Structure 1
Amino acid sequence: MIGQLANLNWISIAIAFVAYFILGALWFTLLFKKQYLISLGKENEPEQKPAPIFIIGPAICSLFITITTAILMYVLKIDSYQSTIELALVVGIGYLVANTVNIAINPNIPKPIFYGLISGSYHLLGIFIVCLVLFAMK
């Protein structure tokens, strides 16, 4: 599978990554900021400037997710929008949402299901965008 790296459309990966990352920025700072803070139990804390790791870390993870998805699309020979949507659902629900909820179920997150709903739905929408961009530019 790693051999597919040479076959990937790196421009489509860059565009899909930027879209995924911007969606995250909007999701957690504009669209669902209050709900996200509630899910973390931080709704009453004063607003702080995020440390660089809270920006760079998600960017790197989003890039890895995007590249991995591009590899899967080539290896699985995704050749239609229907297959693209199916891949987005499998990866989105089977890995991203499930892992997000699993990570949330710990004593440090007071509302794990709410957190899973907010963050998981971001990842599900994000992977749909990634898959659609990658397929459209394949």
Structure 2
Amino acid sequence: MIGQLANLNWISVIVAFFAYFFVGALWFTLLFKKQYAISLGKENNLPSKPAPIFIIGPAICSLIITIASAILIYALGIDSYSGAIEFALVIGIGYLVANTLNIAINPNMPNPLHYAAISGLYHLTGICIVSIILIAMK
């Protein structure tokens, strides 16, 4: 499967990555900022400017998810929008949402289901966008 790296349309990977990352920026700073803070138990204690790790870390993770998705889409021969959505739902729910929920369920997370809903839906939305872009530009 790693051999697919040579076949990828890297422009589509970069476009999909930026879309995924931009949706995350909107999701957590504009659309669900207050709900996200509540899920973390920090509704009254948000920093005015996030530390660089809170921007760079998610960017790197989004890039890795995008590249892995592109490899799988190419290796599986997915070439339709319906196939892209089906792929996104399987990967999104089966890995991204499930893993987000698993991470959230720990004693340090004050509202794990709330956190999992916000973050998990972001990743599900993001992987749908990534998959559609990768197919559109394949």
Same fold, TM-score > 0.5, yes or no: yes
In the aligned structure 2, how far is the partner of 1:34 from the partner of 1:46?
9
- Identify unmatched segments of 5+ residues in structure 1: none
> What are the Cα deviations for residues 52-83 of structure 1, in whole angstroms up to 9, with x where unaligned?
11100000000000000000001100021111
Q: Deviations over 1:96-135 (max 9, x none)?
A: 0000010000111100000000000000000000000000
Q: Is 2:56 the counterpart of 1:63?
A: no
Cα distance in 2 for partners of 1:90, 1:27 equals 22
Root mean square deviation, CA, Å: 0.7
Gaps (5+ residues) in structure 2? none
Alignment partners' CA distance in 1, 2:90 and 2:84:
10
Asked if structure 1 preserves the Cα contact closer than 8 Å seen for 2:37 and 2:46, the reply is no
Alpha-carbon distance in structure 2 between the residues aligned to 1:46 and 1:81: 39
Aligned CA distance change for structure 1 residues 23 and 46 (closer, same or farther; 3 Å)? closer
**2:48 matched to 1:48?**
yes
Q: TM-score, normalised by structure 2?
A: 0.98
Counterpart in the other structure of 2:129: 129
- AA partner of residue 60 (structure 1): I
Alpha-carbon distance in structure 2 between the residues aligned to 1:133 and 1:49:
31
* Letter in structure 1 aligned against 2:63: L
Match of 1:78 in 2: 78
CA distance in 1, matches of 2:46, 2:22: 24
Equivalent position of 1:88 in the other structure: 88
Instruction: Spell out the pairing of 1:106-121 with structure 2 (5 A cutoff).
Output: 106-121=106-121
For 2:46 and 2:73, locate their aligned partners in 1 and report how far apart those are by CA, in whole Å. Answer: 43
Aligned residue pair count = 138
> Distance in 1 between the 2:121 and 2:96 partners?
9
- Deviates further, 39-48 or 68-77: 39-48
> Counterpart of 2:99 in structure 1: which amino acid?
N
Q: Aligned partners of 2:16 and 2:33: how far apart in 1?
A: 23
Identity level (%) = 74
Give the structure 2 partner of residue 35 of structure 1. 35
Aligned equivalent of 2:15? 15
2 CA distance for matches of 1:71 and 1:7? 9
SS at match of 2:109: coil
